[in-house]
Structure 1
Amino acid sequence: MKKYLLIPFLIILTSMVQAQPMQIGWQDLQGKVEPYQDPFAALTDDQLFNLSVYGRITEMKTLYPLYEITDAMLKEAEEAKAQLIKENINIEYMFEQRDIIMKKRQKAALITNDLLANREIQMSGYMLALEFDNGTVSEFLLVPTIGACSHKPVPPANQLIFVKAATPVHAGSPYMPIKITGTLRVTPEVKDLYLVDGKKQVRMAYSLEDAIVEQFIATH
């Protein structure tokens, strides 16, 4: 008798486990990227700064010949170049790699984790409202950090989720920390984000409709 009672119990328990949303973090949204060597990762902050100074002023001379390059700027560029040479940094090679690495980073930013497509998930982040209606928000972006898209650079597309809440949410503060639950969709698209200083186009890779939205206390 006990054996037969155990089977239905296991079936119920299994269904309860399967019904629980998958807890995920921002790193889970990133798809697999073919490994590549980034020569800039080995540079120090000072070397990166000197490379940017030399590159910026050199490009200004080439692309904007009518722009007045001051003696002070030329001196700064030469000093940066001399320091890089002294530290055995191959400037020409680094400039060649810059465009290559940039394209690889851009490609990596668009790669999604298709294993999460149409899965019931739960994750936390910060709400960036797209529209307000009497203090409530129905559509927003879930972003990984405070200030993303407005005060800070726009995160990669696979680090943004367009969310439609099941019920309007009272937005207590800008970048309110929240937890969302719902079915994640892989839906690459571009939306206009209207900010105080103008309009900005934001590319996102995921969406989530009829989301359950809960406020939570961020730990960091």
Structure 2
Amino acid sequence: MRFATTTACVLALGFSTTAFAAEPTVIEWNALIPEVEPYENPFADLDQSDIRSLAKLLRLESLLEDKEDPQIRAEATELRAGLTERGLDVDGLFAQRLVVMENRIKAARSPNPEIVGQSVRLPGYILPLEFKGEEAVEFLLVPTVGACIHTPPPDANQIVHVTYPKGIKVDGMFEPIWIAGQMQSEFATENLYMVDGTTEVEITYQMSADLVEPYK
């Protein structure tokens, strides 16, 4: 289960300070994602065989940077020639690869400036970090049930690190909750301890929650 991602109600309010003073505004998870400037992704138009060949060539040429090997050099030269014959600008694609990677990282980690500093109410699922007795006083909020457990962690800007000194009793990680408070942004990493090991999770958002309660 994933919570819906419509932001029309959020945008309609315009995030005015006055509106939030009375009551937190309900938002959904895609409101945490900033608008990203469009960029060229030439790999979207390539077939999988060309992508695999480019990846192999990049790996071979990376090996040659560390140590010259005639066999690897011959294989890399042949592979590059074949890609060039098919009309691919190999060096241009390698350069654009770095641009694509940089933009994907930016899209995954950047906060939405329209959300930061606003008082919001957000539903999600709890991943406990610290307990006081039987109650969680520090946890991660994620948009999908089982995130970081059965699936890879969501993007950093799809995780909120929550502190709540009052504590909330955790009956399980599959029951949704609401959090409410002022959303802040500070990029961080957190080690999440699971039965099968430790996962390092990147986090964009922080909240010292005013209220945490079961989802109804």
Superposed pair shares fold, TM > 0.5: yes
Q: 1:42 aligns with which of 42, 45, 59?
A: 45
Q: Structure 1: where are the runs of 5+ without partners?
A: 1-14, 70-76
Distance 1:33 1:165 in 2: 32
Query: What secondary structure, in the 3-state scheme, does the structure 1 residue paired with 2:176 have?
Result: strand
- Between structure 1 and structure 2, the one with the greater Rg is 1
Query: What secondary structure, in the 3-state scheme, does the structure 1 residue paired with 2:130 have?
Result: coil
Q: Structure 2: where are the runs of 5+ without partners?
A: 1-17
Residue 144 (structure 1) aligns with: 143
Distance 2:193 2:97 in 1: 31
Residue 72 (structure 1) aligns with: none
Shift of 1:25: 1.8
Q: 1:62 to 1:133 in 2, by over 3 A?
A: farther
Is 1:33 paired with 2:49? no
What TM-score comes out, normalization by structure 1 length? Answer: 0.66
Residue 167 (structure 2) aligns with: 168
Residue 11 (structure 1) aligns with: none
What TM-score comes out, normalization by structure 2 length? Answer: 0.67
Shift of 1:200: 4.0
Q: 1:62 aligns with which of 39, 43, 64?
A: 64
Q: How does 1:110-189 map to 2 (within 5 A)?
A: 110-165=109-164, 167-189=166-188
Q: 1:108 to 1:17 in 2, by over 3 A?
A: closer
Q: 1:105 to 1:88 in 2, by over 3 A?
A: same
Letter in 1 for 2:193: Y
Shift of 1:88: 4.8
Q: 1:210 to 1:42 in 2, by over 3 A?
A: same
Is 1:194 paired with 2:193? yes
| Structure 1 vs Structure 2 CA RMSD | 3.9
Query: Matched residue pairs, number?
Result: 197
Residue 105 (structure 1) aligns with: 104
Shift of 1:141: 0.8
